[in-house]
């Protein structure tokens, strides 16, 4: 190989080396950009997994509270039903004040006396 051929080949290989280096740098830049995006997505993914776990824990706590509240709600419902029945019963009971009661007792005594009189009543016509 002559020095001119060698020099020509060096120039040719050097040119290909420059192209390959430029291509490598471009691919390396793209790779780093994609890698940074992936790291960002992975970080967000981890945050979302933590948030999901927190939400699952909250959901379990709330479900437990709901079950406890359902029991308390049922007890309260029974108590309301029972008290409503007592109110209904009290609403049916007649209210008499002492004066009315005394008057009714006098009338009752009069009616009994009149009934006894009617038993012994004899018609004389």
CA dist 55 to 43, 48, 67, 70, 72, Å? 18, 10, 18, 22, 25
pLDDT band for position 123 (cuts 50, 70, 90): low
pLDDT for 93 equals 79
Q: DSSP states of 93-119 as a string?
A: SPP--HHHHHHHHHHHHHHHHHHHHHH
- pLDDT, one tens digit per residue, over 3-15 is 999 999 999 999 9
Q: Measure the CA–CA gap between 1 and 12, rounded to whole angstroms.
A: 15
- pLDDT, one tens digit per residue, over 86-98 is 998 988 877 678 8
């Amino acid at each position: 190989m002559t020095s001119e051929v060698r020099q020509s080949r060096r120039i040719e290989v050097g040119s290909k080396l420059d192209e390959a280096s430029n291509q490598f740098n471009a691919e390396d830049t793209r790779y780093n950009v994609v890698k940074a995006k992936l790291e960002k997505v992975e970080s967000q993914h981890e945050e979302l997994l933590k948030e999901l776990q927190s939400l699952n824990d909250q959901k379990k706590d709330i479900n437990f509270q709901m079950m406890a509240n359902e029991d308390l709600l049922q007890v309260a419902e029974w108590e309301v039903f029972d008290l409503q029945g007592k109110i209904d019963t009290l609403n049916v009971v007649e209210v008499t004040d002492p004066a009315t009661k005394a008057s009714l007792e006098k009338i009752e005594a009069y009616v009994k006396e009149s009934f006894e009189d009617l038993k012994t009543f004899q018609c004389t016509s």
